Structure 1
Amino acid sequence: MTDTLVRRTPWPDSVSRAVVTPLQPSVVYASESPDELDAQYAGQVQGYTYAREGHPNATVLAQKIDALEGATGGLVVGSGMAAVSAALLGLLKSGDHIVGGNQLYGRSLRMMTQDLPRFGIGHSLADQTDAAAVEAALRPETRMILIETVSNPTLRVADIEGIARLARDRGILLAVDNTFTTPRGLRPFDFGADIVIHSVTKLLAGHADATLGYVAARNPDHRRAIYDMATTLGLTASPFDCWLAERGLYSFALRYDRAEENAARLAEHLAALPGVRRVIYPTRPDHPDHNRAIGLLGRRGGNMLSFEVEGGRAAANALTRAAPQIAFAPTLGDIGTTLSHPASSSHRGMSAESRAANGISEGFFRVSVGVEEIELLISEFSAAIEAATRA
């Protein structure tokens, strides 16, 4: 017998090519010889060996996000927090110190305050909207500063230019989580960042069906250290999720622009409703960082807004129940609008006092605005706010 079904069938030859990127779920890749395998590991030829070390769908996606961010050699990993972890654990060691924005995403805060100390890495938190406050938090052993371009969920705009100058003068790495803003709003490398991080799960993939992260570093040695840590920890991205995210990127600009337009109009509408204590949106004149937002982002306010209603948990419950068509979920970035309540989700691990200090009350909501008809969103949110007011 010269053949068996156990052997893999070679891919058919064709004079035409697929328009859609092929999905390559293979975990293992065969090489011709030990010499060829050595050449791959030595970087003399391009090839794949084992999916934990990289695969074609991750490479294609990373290159597309690189193009958006003006980066080289970015790495796609299994989630946004995998990207944060690869950067911090790959570049920090015992005895180092990191300064983080005091309004970072809840899991990033947890990593800094609870996980990094177990590895002997110290931390301080500072107001990322104030470069002087960040400077005051520095120590002789500070190795990195981690900020978000726009904070989650309070939408404060970082003083990225001032902090970048500070980091450069002190020889400290600046890592910027650009998930909320996306490269369509701002490219951190253009402002002096050393590392850029994304939760690709959110706006870049854009359909709530792929969990991925991305991290890129300006320095090739840093890129290698991040890659080695991600490979060692097994922060591997799923080929199928990469394929889905690449598909999502093709409509990214269209989705972002429509959702941004909706967010600006919804913010204006919410601000006029009885029972709404405040609305936070970067381009609104009453935003606390309005001038900086306009200077950095122009009129690109993004698709995220936050608002606070009067009343406590009862009002919050009434609001979500009165808007059953708006997904109440602790996430963002779907093509449709989602509503989240930080006190019961992303920031539930913080004490009530810490949440209050960051302006997060039981009546505080974050909205990831989608691409629906704006009239529908205005109607649904009006009804929800009215229900919260009655409660």
Structure 2
Amino acid sequence: MRRDPKSTTVRRTPWPEGAERALGTPLQPSVVYTAADPDALDRIYDDGAPGFTYAREAHPNAEVLAAKIDRLEGAEGGIVLGSGMAAATAVMMGLLKAGDHVIGADQLYGRSLRMLAEDLPRLGIATTLADACDASAIEAAIRSETRLILIEIVSNPTLRVADLERIAALCRERDILLAVDNTFTTPRAIRPFEHGADLVIHSVTKLLAGHSDATLGYVAARDPELRERLRVTAITLGLTASPFDCWLAERGLFTFELRYDRAEENAAALAAHLAGLEGVQVLYPGRSDHPQHDRAAALLGTRFGNMVTFQIEGERDAANALVRAAGQIGFAPTLGDVSTTLSHPATSSHRALTPEARAALGITEGTFRVSVGVEPVETLCAEFEAAIRAAQA
């Protein structure tokens, strides 16, 4: 008996078509996409016709998410990648070569610092770290071979505010690319392209996605030529974003503004409460006692963000006691979740640094970073006060 070839289940079934469209974004996990013929592939690859071929190069869920973040940032042609560090890697590997020099702010995410201190020099790219709060320190670090400066507007974890305007002016004068990691501040607070940035980087994992269930990054360039170099590098190095993570992150973005506003309001109230406790030092850009408060107000207006850093006296035993007493608050080396999380930089984001290097940045065993969520602020204030009292005891 001969089997009808149309009866096999091995062949793909065409997707049902209709006049209606799904309200929710479809999840498209396919690795490959079929084309009508070789000419159709030529039109996609050579003529820029819309279409997809292989998910490492592009896929629908990444493009939908990138377009959403582009609108937030006032950007064009942004690329969604597998993580925030993948975005930073695309910038460094795609735009730099052996013999170039990079300046990084001396207060960056710990893995960014490691890339600058260890990985780039191994590839023949020289690096210097300088205080981004002081544009003259950045200027003093510039060499003839300097090609790029990387800063965070609000630093991780001590929440210092970079002198963005003067650094951007230096980059324009010296023909140096300025890359801004906007993860902490987000485009809800500031759009770096409007302040002279050439490149904007995000860990989408954090506030943009907002639910600790998607690991993604994003990078956008002002110049179309740089965009293409970033795209080619991302494809070559396989910095691909998962379609499922892109789908989750897009879902998170629907509530981004609501989450951000509530968390920011909570952060201001929590910072005020903690500052009123004996033996607690608080860093929050919205407070008048912050070292760069005036600069923060000039750059960010009233959008001071959801991150609060505080410091207590004591060593590891005090840190352990505080975390154990804050059992309802997630102790996690991350930020941007819809709920509040507590981080200990000395053992998480900056654990790769020596104690002396951490001390130079103002990070001690008693330093804690809070990513404030959307819980009732009265609950947060009570929980943190109880945890601090336990540590002090």
TM (norm. structure 1) is 0.99
Aligned residue in 2 for 1:99: 103
Determine if the alignment matches structure 1 residue 355 to structure 2 residue 358.
yes
1-side partners of 2:47 and 2:125: how far apart? 32
Aligned residue in 2 for 1:377: 380
1-side partners of 2:278 and 2:13: how far apart? 66
Aligned residue in 2 for 1:345: 348
2-side partners of 1:125 and 1:13: how far apart? 56
Distance apart, 1:72 and its partner CA: 0.2
Aligned residue in 1 for 2:250: 246
Distance apart, 1:44 and its partner CA: 3.3
2:79 to 65, 75, 78: 75
2-side partners of 1:161 and 1:33: how far apart? 51
Determine if the alignment matches structure 1 residue 148 to structure 2 residue 138.
no
Listed one character per residue, the Cα deviations across residues 340-367 of structure 1 (whole Å, up to 9, x for unaligned) are 0000111011111110010000000000
1-side partners of 2:387 and 2:304: how far apart? 24
Q: Secondary structure at the match of 1:51?
A: coil
1-side partners of 2:62 and 2:230: how far apart? 15
1-side partners of 2:217 and 2:207: how far apart? 11
Aligned amino acid, residue 85 of structure 2: M
Name the count of aligned residue pairs: 389
Distance apart, 1:38 and its partner CA: 1.2
Aligned residue in 2 for 1:58: 62
Determine if the alignment matches structure 1 residue 201 to structure 2 residue 205.
yes
Distance apart, 1:130 and its partner CA: 1.1
Determine if the alignment matches structure 1 residue 327 to structure 2 residue 306.
no
2-side partners of 1:43 and 1:289: how far apart? 49
1-side partners of 2:286 and 2:278: how far apart? 22
Identity score, percent: 68
1-side partners of 2:75 and 2:10: how far apart? 42
1:88 to 87, 92, 95: 92
Determine if the alignment matches structure 1 residue 315 to structure 2 residue 311.
no
The 5 A counterparts of 1:182-201 are 182-201=186-205
Aligned residue in 2 for 1:213: 217
The 5 A counterparts of 1:149-298 are 149-276=153-280, 278-298=281-301
1-side partners of 2:375 and 2:23: how far apart? 29
Distance apart, 1:118 and its partner CA: 1.2
Aligned residue in 2 for 1:20: 24
2-side partners of 1:44 and 1:114: how far apart? 38
Listed one character per residue, the Cα deviations across residues 138-157 of structure 1 (whole Å, up to 9, x for unaligned) are 01000000000110001011
Q: Secondary structure at the match of 1:52?
A: coil
CA contact (8 A) 1:305 1:366 kept: yes
2-side partners of 1:208 and 1:116: how far apart? 29
Listed one character per residue, the Cα deviations across residues 265-313 of structure 1 (whole Å, up to 9, x for unaligned) are 000000011231x100001011010110010011111000100011111
Aligned residue in 2 for 1:117: 121
Aligned amino acid, residue 218 of structure 2: Y
Q: Secondary structure at the match of 2:336?
A: coil
CA contact (8 A) 1:179 1:203 kept: yes
Which residues of structure 2 form unaligned runs of 5+?
none
Say what the alpha-carbon RMSD is for the aligned residues.
Answer: 0.6
Aligned residue in 1 for 2:35: 31
Listed one character per residue, the Cα deviations across residues 34-54 of structure 1 (whole Å, up to 9, x for unaligned) are 111011111331111100001
2-side partners of 1:23 and 1:16: how far apart? 17
Moved over 2 A (4+): none
Q: Secondary structure at the match of 1:32?
A: coil
